[in-house]
Structure 1
């Protein structure tokens, strides 16, 4: 009776129950080793109980150590692609980080890559215009019907105006529609089993092509045509064609979250056999002989071909792992002060004007004392050769500071840090310390460029008044929030100048050039350490020379019968540095005849004026009208950052795009075949693109262009599990000592 009563009390635990001596506080029905002498003696003497405690401790330790080891494993990176008959295994990727010319399947899991077969780039230069023809050939090696997404970068000034899709023996030509309408047409055709293509602008210099219902074994040829323009700098012409791009970093959202990065399985190293390859052919019709034709990016060979010049890659196709850069000079001593090309259409006469202001000899080399803030990108995308190029560029810039100048340095990744938090005089000890600080810079973390620029602009605004303030940014521009960055610079820069150094084999040239434009500064690109000294020297000399500012362009038409004013773009003319041209697109009425343009501005020596005439017999140039349309669209889109009404901008952009068949933020090209031809449902197959040359993003430690969040998460998990491990051992140790007492 007593035993039954005691067991009942142990289970019910009434409030005033007093535990009998020798019972365990946690389990009152179990004897406590600390108070039960018999149990304690057994715990000391019984080897089986000792073995049980030892095995339990080992099991707990093994489980915790296993979890700790899992927390320290690096993220899974891209491996070599599986053989053609392997089952699909690719992870979805984001179009903005999809890689060079990547053909992506649109599967239920997202966009999944597919192999690239061939890429052909044909560029034709006539005067100042570049007509580009990009042909990429893909093959469906599977036994499934697919829908594919084709992602490709183009030059930042490119205007895409034509697309054709060849599927077997069928040729599908695209038509322009508003983006939503084009998407609806494409989706309807896809559901009906008809082949269809859709070209849309994903970013200002990144486009996507969707191709629906590709049958097994079919070869897909996507041909896109675009219009671009040459650059001109210090007597040298040039062009760039991007073959890949650096994966873009997505900054934290306003709620503090960071969107998932899509780099993981969309890239391979350039030496991988699956990396895309390209053939490049350039024809330059300059009208005069060329000299000093060279490429800092690829070995080339060039030769005359009739009245033109032909440039080809030396050795055939190359891996698409860097921008193709070509420069040349005309064989003549004089430099053009102005050149005009026109193109006539039914709706008017369109023109392109290049004005090159002369630099007075007396002003060369003179400059005011400057207050310079250098801002250098040390994020993960800069790891490898890029950070070495950035350090060398910054050291070159520091070495060119003059007595009387002041400076400071700001480095940034997902955080930013100043060298001294104040502007220092450019003299011996300060310069030596700055050089040592720069030499110690290493790359890691995310590319939070916006907070760094905001801090830098505020540092300049809070500093004492100075004759000339400038911010020099050194970066690869690998971010996808370009509009936000440009809007902040437009709002906060004030009277300071913003100059940009683009770093790496595939920088974001659109962002670099647009930042320099809104910052009334200049830009330069450095693709390898060997050319850093020469290009930085030329760049620093250029920005040290007097700038031509307060530019305005006035027109005077010879005929009083003109029915409409001359419309020019850009409407807000940028400041010019010596050796830099001003490109102006203009449109006259259908009856437009002779006209004269007068460019006025200020240089260090006083006011300057350049006159240039447009005559009825002015040289014709193909693509001039399309160039005007693209310039107008760009000017309208810039208005959004200045507070323009978005519906009004949209309506005007669509109107221009429809007249010239331009792909814009609001318009797309869509092509649909007449009859259904699909033979089944789609499945997935992976693709790979080539990382930019020198990138370490696939190497073991995986330096990321994202934030250090994943690393901190793993570190936090490690510390949490390690703490649990230590606590478990401590509890086991204390229990063993109590039992042994």
Structure 2
């Protein structure tokens, strides 16, 4: 079942959403986002409404509140079944209630149930989350506000299709206002977007703080993408934020927290031995949804065409002597060769001819079975396996797929390409993260080549082993790491580390973190020093 817009009655009918207001605060490489959604019951009776909305796959939801009239409700964390029973009890007795749930199958989809909204009454919902900003091939930081949650394909074996939203089609007119406050240790050089922006305003002479907003009258008919450019983007940086004065010292919110942005530099001797070998497997989404436009704008390329262009560029750039194969998947899957073949002029020409005629003609989006087939194939000796996945990411069994990739992480690296607006960031970034690879999002013809070539460069770099982080701080200060263990590093590609700083220094004001790893049998380490003195911002 597919709805017409974000907010629906339980009968799947649109509820007028009047406007969306978004405030973004970017601190270095992390964005804090606060969205307020205002809507109105124009019916003559109370209604229960459902709002299904997308978030970035690795975003952390940290605040939710809702207001009907003068009554404001703030969310409390509850065990899932207990929360549902409380909500049902409130609605059945005519009370106003809200229930916010993460999808059981995909971590980038939340469902908000709004119970007993009186006739003629307005309501507003505010949700806040934090997310890391991905670094693009041209060194921009990418912030994306998803407007589009494409209908997700559910394999027949899993039963009913959950209710999801499609792109707003103008049948319910509502507007979006978005303002962003940017703060960076290094100067901000420019901000670009796929939407019209007001001019960038700098707030200090160093150009390390600025504001920017969407031009007025923007219709929320597409993902809003902001590309932030910092000068000296590849310089390692550290940001120390003070704890909240209202929080207990010694607690996570009461202590300072440090964020390190590292850019590993590998020894030239190791980089000169870049692999010219490998088994490159290309898994191409050929489901019916790939026969849709990349975005809602005029002259948009079809997704299957963009995926073909991406694959052709990769095929022409492979090193001679490696091995490769191409798989297409939908409701079924097929491969170009019975098994991986050596890359030569002859095999490349054969593959290019087939790719040029590739169509979105294989039905639904069932990626699990071809992945299982690939993982069941024995790896080739001395040919490290590199898996490239192209999809618009419209599946409902995301968590099952990520678990499969994770179980096979030691046999390959996984590089993903999200094709078109609305591609599930949970699937695209999740597969790359679990497979120690890298994710790219292709939303137009611009920047296609640098993105493709960056992923290929990463795939040709030797895999590293035994990554560890050592913190060095003065006496009296303790470091509590907050980041999961690093499982992948690439030359010049940013890695973020977070840690809580507890206690008081007995004298020194500097700390450092050292990342150690083995690369091509050679031990390597990169170090970054930072000041223990927090900046003014808390967040």
1:427-471 Cα deviation digits (max 9, x unpaired):
222111111111111114111100011112223xx2531332211
1:29-75 Cα deviation digits (max 9, x unpaired):
xxxxxxxxxxxxxxxxxxxxxxxxxxxxxxxxxxxxxxxxxxxxxxx
Q: Which residue of 2 aligns with 1:706?
A: none
Q: Secondary structure at the match of 1:607?
A: strand
Residue from 83, 93, 98 that aligns with 1:182: 83
Question: Could you tell which deviates more after superposition, 382-391 or 491-500?
Answer: 491-500
Q: Secondary structure at the match of 2:411?
A: coil
1:149 shift after superposition:
1.5
Q: Secondary structure at the match of 1:245?
A: coil
1:550 shift after superposition:
2.8
Residue from 426, 436, 446 that aligns with 2:343: 426
1:372 shift after superposition:
0.6
Residue from 566, 584, 593 that aligns with 2:480: 566
Q: Which residue of 1 aligns with 2:331?
A: 414
Would you say 1:280 and 2:189 are equivalent positions? no
Residue from 369, 375, 378 that aligns with 1:457: 375
Say which structure is richer in helix: 1
1:579 shift after superposition:
2.6
Q: Secondary structure at the match of 2:17?
A: coil
Kept after mapping to 2: 8 A contact 1:121/1:133:
yes
1:119-158 equivalent positions in 2, closer than 5 A: 119-158=20-59
1:155-208 Cα deviation digits (max 9, x unpaired):
222222222222233333333333333333333322332222222222412222
Structure 1: 5+ residue runs without aligned partners? 1-92, 624-741
Label 1:549 to 1:524 Cα distance change in 2 as closer, same or farther (>3 A).
farther
1:251-330 equivalent positions in 2, closer than 5 A: 251-253=155-157, 258-260=159-161, 262=163, 267=166, 270=169, 272-274=170-172, 277-286=175-184, 288-295=186-193, 297-307=194-204, 308-314=209-215, 316-321=217-222, 323-330=223-230
CA distance in 2, matches of 1:510, 1:268: 18
Residue from 556, 580, 601 that aligns with 2:493: 580
Q: Which residue of 1 aligns with 2:298?
A: none
Q: Which residue of 2 aligns with 1:162?
A: 63
Residue from 467, 476, 479 that aligns with 2:392: 476
1:259-282 Cα deviation digits (max 9, x unpaired):
34657xx64774x44365423222
Q: Secondary structure at the match of 1:249?
A: coil
Kept after mapping to 1: 8 A contact 2:4/2:14:
no
1:528 shift after superposition:
1.8
1:473 shift after superposition:
0.8
1:556 shift after superposition:
4.0
1:493 shift after superposition:
4.6
Would you say 1:351 and 2:255 are equivalent positions? no
Kept after mapping to 2: 8 A contact 1:233/1:579:
no
CA distance in 2, matches of 1:282, 1:501: 27
CA distance in 1, matches of 2:160, 2:125: 31
1:125 shift after superposition:
1.0
Label 1:554 to 1:573 Cα distance change in 2 as closer, same or farther (>3 A).
same
1:224 shift after superposition:
1.3
Q: Report the RMSD for the aligned CA atoms in angstroms.
A: 2.7
TM-score normalised by the chain length of structure 1: 0.64
Would you say 1:443 and 2:360 are equivalent positions? yes
Residue from 270, 287, 294 that aligns with 1:379: 287
Q: Which residue of 1 aligns with 2:401?
A: 485
CA distance in 2, matches of 1:365, 1:217: 69
CA distance in 2, matches of 1:506, 1:487: 22
Kept after mapping to 1: 8 A contact 2:466/2:517:
yes
1:126 shift after superposition:
2.0
Residue from 77, 91, 94 that aligns with 1:193: 94
Label 1:531 to 1:615 Cα distance change in 2 as closer, same or farther (>3 A).
closer
CA distance in 2, matches of 1:529, 1:294: 16
Residue from 216, 234, 252 that aligns with 2:119: 216
CA distance in 1, matches of 2:426, 2:288: 20
1:367 shift after superposition:
2.6
Label 1:618 to 1:135 Cα distance change in 2 as closer, same or farther (>3 A).
closer
Q: Which one has more relative contact order, counting CA pairs under 8 Å at least 6 apart?
A: 1
CA distance in 2, matches of 1:561, 1:583: 21
Q: Which residue of 1 aligns with 2:145?
A: 241
CA distance in 1, matches of 2:216, 2:63: 30
1:292 shift after superposition:
4.0
Q: Paired residues, what number?
A: 510
1:387-440 Cα deviation digits (max 9, x unpaired):
111111111110101211121101000101000112222222211111111111
Residue from 389, 403, 421 that aligns with 1:505: 421
Label 1:193 to 1:262 Cα distance change in 2 as closer, same or farther (>3 A).
closer
CA distance in 2, matches of 1:225, 1:169: 21
